[in-house]
Amino acid sequence: MKRLLLSIICLSMASASYGQSTITGKITSNQTELPGATIYLRDTPHHTVTDLDGHYRLTSLPKGNYTLVVFYTGKATITHPVTIGAGEENLQLDFVMEDISKNLDDVTVMTEETVTYGIKRLNTVDGSNIYEAKKNEVIELADMTANLATNNSRQVYGKVPGLNIYESDGAGLQLGIGARGLDPSRTAHFNVRQNGYDISADALGYPESYYTPALEAVSRIEVVRGAASLQYGTQFGGLLNFKLKKGPKDEKLAVTLRNSVGSYGFLNTFTSLGGTIGKWNYYTFFQYKRGDGWRDNSGFDSKMAYTSWVYQPHDRFKVTFQYTFMDYLAQQPGGLTDAMFEKNPRQSIRSRNWFQVKWNLLANIVDYKFTDRTKLNVRNFALIGGRDALGNLGRIDRVDDLEERNLFVDDFTNFGSEVRLVHTYDLKEQKHVALIGARYYQGLTDRKQGLGSDGSDADFRFLHPEALEDSDYDFPGKNLAVFAENVFNLSTKLSLTPGIRFEHIQTKAKGYYTRSTKVLDRDTGFAVDSTFQVPESRTSTRSFVFTGLGLSYKPGDHHELYANFSQNYRSINFNDIRVNNPNLVVDEDIQDESGYNIDLGVRGNKAGLFNYDISVFYLRYNDRIGAILKTDPENFRIYRYRTNIADAYSAGVEAFAEIDLLEATHLGDRYHVNLFSNFSLIRARYLHSGETAVEGNLVELVPPFSIRPGLTFGNKDFQLTYQYAFVQEHFTDASNARQTASAVEGIIPSYHVMDLSLSYRYKWAKLEASVNNLSNNVYFTRRASGYPGPGIIPSEGRTFFLTAEFRF
């Protein structure tokens, strides 16, 4: 006991003596991470080596002036002056090491990109992935001030231009973002991943994301536009990848506690543990949050857990095991008509609607370096989960009949594997990078629709499970893909990146749906309804090849001109094969969609002084799937008809710029004042169509103009961020209806909203506060055809949040 007390006292004295200052960073060479490099402060005992990803960390550093040295055999040694002053607790320094004999001939990462203020771009080669000449953004969550407890997407994605964001979920349980005219609902038009593997319900037939990682556990978010189709799959939107945190390399146990409270009963608690023990690195967290919701009947209760264990016996081999669990229950307040929204946007006339999700993700990742130039990455992953929706899906302009509710139950069992091999090679005095890969994916969705209870509780049981009133289907699917890309460095400034992908897709549907018809009752002589089951079995198999080409020109260290062309493809999903929804009818002959993305832009940055990306794009969408209004000739009922509406295009400008107003002054050493803004100008129209009411119309869900400026002021310990967003009026359906009685179709009126966030850190404690929708504006971003509507889904009014964080 005495020895334990003595150890604690010694550790406390050491902590007081050395403070809490830390230097972290990444060492790269020849476009790849450099493991095993030695980093030390000259004439001090502080030293470390980089891990397999090239990262290093020096901790417990006293204030003073030092010389940081980076050494690796065969590379030119780097020396860099470092000053650690009072209050400077975290310093990030990244370096690119050069060969001793000559400078690098290929593309290198700019070392001055260490100060990000929340946004930067991906390296030419990052791990086992190629991003040269692709339109992309990286959101560094540690460098920004935002409401992470609620996963506030308006704030987190505030520096990514061209996004249309659904703000109908104040708790952040689900993410809804789209781009360039793609439906934001559950981010279904992006390939959504976590640590490089799929997390959506079914990547082929049902690519909707019911699970969103807790942003308090996320280190960065990678957004790659349509050019991601060659390496990640064919989605028009591109890639959205959440990279979760890892345990610190130099501590056996690091603990983070975060507790948040907010308006309308919001409570969030987040606890993480991480560290390195021998050859094992681990990170795990648990999050619980609940709230009553801004509207009536919108309470929620969510639990999320994650664990990651990394075994690295030596610098060339690493194996990772990860497991993610999520379970949440949310009451759905339903939609509103336009008149109801104008009268009181917080009201709800649906008190019996519920939604629950249970998610289990498993992953195994293997990284192996054959040589410093050749590395292999294998990702195995599986999903066992489900989502259940219960409630009255009838038109929102009708009162709840209090009869049996509609119950939708989906169960998902998916698994897949991706293999990637990256090799750097020399050709004609230039270094080039080749990537080849393959993917196998198999999914099974078990979908049931029928009647649930007539009560008001969250009872997710069918009344007649043996004979469902609507449908019972299995949707199996298989996917095999082979892909390749190569970065050809034509000179030290110019590169060409061609790519190709082969896809083989098979989707099936097997089950039954019910149909009603009028028959003559022989006893009464009157016509009565008769319901019968219709068995159905379908198989669709298709194979295709698509290509892409990227071009990058770097005239200097801080600027780049880039261009990219990539083909895209989107498979019809299970909702397009069979769904019983009183608000929607699906075309029996609906087909897959195809098209391409073109990007042309200029981007650059310099040491936190400025950061910009200005580009033009053209998105071509052939056989675009959407919904139009039709009239039933028998009963004259107006209904939504989902089909291949027409060919369409979306073209415009996406721009982001940020500048530190104090960097060039003497105050820049202590403070920063960052002025930033992103904006987009987009024109999107339907072209050739068999529907005369559609041809020439504006494409739905495309704001013609949006702008999101902001200002951040701070220093090492304090940061204050103000954000503003304006989104112009746009349509929600292809017929360009301005308003309908059901409120499912109509315009999204122009709206603006402001947020204010601040954080202050003192040693191991941090305080965060935010005011969302500062001016308490009344607006909405979504009209839902089904859950969580139907009808207008109002966005939240002004809300307040406070978070206390402690690190040990």
Q: Is residue 129 situated within a structural domain?
A: no
Q: What are phi and psi of 512, to 5 degrees?
A: -150, 155
Pair 166, 782: CB distance under 8 Å? yes
Q: How far is CA 654 from CA 149, 613, 675, in A?
A: 29, 8, 18
Task: Give yes or no for a contact between 625 and 644, defined as CB atoms under 8 angstroms apart.
Answer: yes
Strands (E), 661-784: 672-689, 705-714, 718-727, 730-731, 747-748, 751-762, 765-772, 780-784
> What is the mean pLDDT of the segment spanning 370-397?
94
pLDDT band at 86 (very low <50, low <70, confident <90, very high): low
Q: Point out the domain boundary residue: 104, 120, 145.
A: 104
Q: 763 vs 91, 93, 204, 285, 716, CA distance in Å?
A: 14, 21, 47, 22, 11
Burial class (CB in 10 A: 0-12, 13-18, 19+), 721: buried
Buried residues in 446-485 as b, exposed as e (16+ CB within 10 A): bbbbbbbbeebebebebeeeeebbbbbbebbbbbebebbb
Residue at which a domain ends, from 55, 73, 104: 104
SS3 668: helix
Pick from 147, 160, 285: which is nearest to 223 by CA? 160
The contacts of residue 339 (CB under 8 Å, 6+ apart) are none
Residue 756 has pLDDT above 50, yes or no: yes
Across 8-54, the runs of DSSP E, i.e. the strands, are 21-29, 32-33, 38-41, 47-49
Q: Which of 130-144, 270-284, 451-465, 571-585 has the lowest mean pLDDT?
A: 571-585
- pLDDT tens readout for residues 502-523: 999 999 999 998 887 766 777 7
- Rounded to an integer, what distance in angstroms lies between the CA atom of residue 395 and that of residue 298? 19
Mean pLDDT of 570-590: 75
How much is the pLDDT for 118? 82
Q: Which of 623, 615, 678 lies closest to 651, judged by CA?
A: 615
Residue 560 has a pLDDT of 95
- Tell me if the bond preceding 213 is cis, omega within 30° of 0: no
Residue 7 confidence (pLDDT): 43
Angstrom distance (rounded) from CA 729 to CA 304: 36
Please check whether residue 60 lies inside any domain of the structure. yes
**Cα 123 to Cα 433: distance, rounded to the nearest angstrom:** 13
Share above pLDDT 70 across residues of the chain, in percent, rounded to a whole number: 92
For 337, other C-beta atoms within 10 Å of its C-beta total 22
> Which phi and psi angles does 98 have, rounded to 5°?
-105, 155
Whether the CB-CB separation of 250 and 48 falls below 8 Å is answered with yes
Q: Residues for the chain: how many in total?
A: 808
Is the previous residue joined to 81 through a cis bond, with omega within 30 degrees of 0? Answer: no
Please tell me the predicted confidence (pLDDT) of residue 482.
98
Reference 353, options 449, 210, 458; nearest CA is 458
CA Rg, the chain, in Å?
Answer: 27
Using pLDDT thresholds of 50, 70 and 90, give the confidence band for residue 43: low
CB 179 within 8 A of CB 185: no
Mean of pLDDT values over 275-284 = 97
Residue 682 and residue 638 in contact, taking contact as beta carbons nearer than 8 Å: no
Q: Which residues pair with 541 in a beta bridge?
A: 506
pLDDT at 10 over 70: no
CA pair distance 804, 286, nearest whole angstrom: 16
Q: How far apart are CA 225 and CA 708, in angstroms?
A: 19
Which amino acid, one-letter code, is at 531?
A: T
The secondary structure of 271-284 as a DSSP string is EEEEEEETTEEEEE
The confidence score (pLDDT) of residue 412 equals 97
pLDDT value of residue 688:
80
**Per-residue model confidence as pLDDT tens digits over 142-158:** 889 999 999 999 999 99
> b/e for 64-77, b at 16 or more Cβ within 10 A?
eebebebbbeebee
> 10 Cβ partners below 8 Å, 6+ apart?
none
Dump pLDDT digits (tens) for 130-188.
999 999 999 999 889 999 999 999 999 999 999 999 998 888 999 999 998 899 999 99
The pTM for the full model equals: 0.85
154 secondary structure, DSSP code: H
Summarised one tens digit per residue, pLDDT across range 464-476 is: 999 999 999 999 9
Residue bearing tokens 């209760």: 301
Cα–Cα distance measured from residue 575 to residue 590, given in angstroms and rounded to the nearest whole number: 11
What pLDDT sits at residue 87?
Answer: 60
What is the domain-level CATH number for residue 79? 2.60.40.1120
pLDDT reported for residue 762: 94
Please check whether residue 174 lies inside any domain of the structure: no
CA-CA-CA-CA torsion sign (732, 737, 743, 748): positive
Sequence-ordered list of residues with C-beta below 8 angstroms from that of 13, at least 6 positions apart, any chain: none
Tokens of 273: 């543990």
Q: Are strands 638-660 and 584-586 parallel, antiparallel or unpaired?
A: parallel
Number of domain units in the chain: 2
Q: Higher model confidence: residue 35 or residue 114? A: 35
Distances (CA, A) of 754 to 681, 724, 735, 772: 21, 4, 32, 7
Q: Which domain holds residue 93?
A: 21-104
Q: Are 90 and 59 in contact (CB under 8 A)?
A: no
Q: Give Cβ neighbours of residue 696 (< 8 Å, ≥ 6 apart).
A: 685, 686
pLDDT of residue 73: 64
Helix (H) or strand (E) holding 11: helix 2-18
Of the candidate ranges 51-55, 375-379, 519-523, the one whose mean pLDDT is the lowest: 519-523
pLDDT band at 20; cut points 50, 70, 90: low
- Helix, strand or coil for residue 601? strand
Q: With respect to residue 629, please indicate whether it lies within any of the assigned structural domains.
A: yes
Please, are residues 741 and 397 in contact by the beta-carbon 8 Å criterion? yes
The mean predicted confidence, pLDDT, of the chain is 89
Q: Quick check: is 187 in a domain?
A: no
Please tell me the predicted confidence (pLDDT) of residue 6. 40
The CATH number assigned to the domain holding 429 equals 2.40.170.20
Structure confidence at residue 16 (pLDDT)? 39
Amino acid 530: pLDDT: 75
Question: What tokens appear for 32 in the block?
Answer: 């790849």
Domain boundary among 83, 104, 125: 104
> Does the residue 576 lie in any domain?
yes
Query: 3-state SS of 399-421?
Result: CCCCCCCEEEEEEEEEEEEEEEE
Pairing relationship of beta strands 90-92 and 21-29 according to DSSP bridges? parallel
Q: Which two tokens stand for residue 138?
A: 């990286």
Q: Worst-scoring range by mean pLDDT, 67-71, 302-306, 758-762?
A: 67-71
Q: What is the mean pLDDT of residues 760-783?
A: 96
For residue 455, is it within any domain? yes
The mean per-residue pLDDT over the stretch 733-755 comes to 94
- Number of Cβ within a 10 Å radius of residue 98: 15
Q: How confident is the model at residue 550 (pLDDT cuts 50, 70, 90)?
A: very high
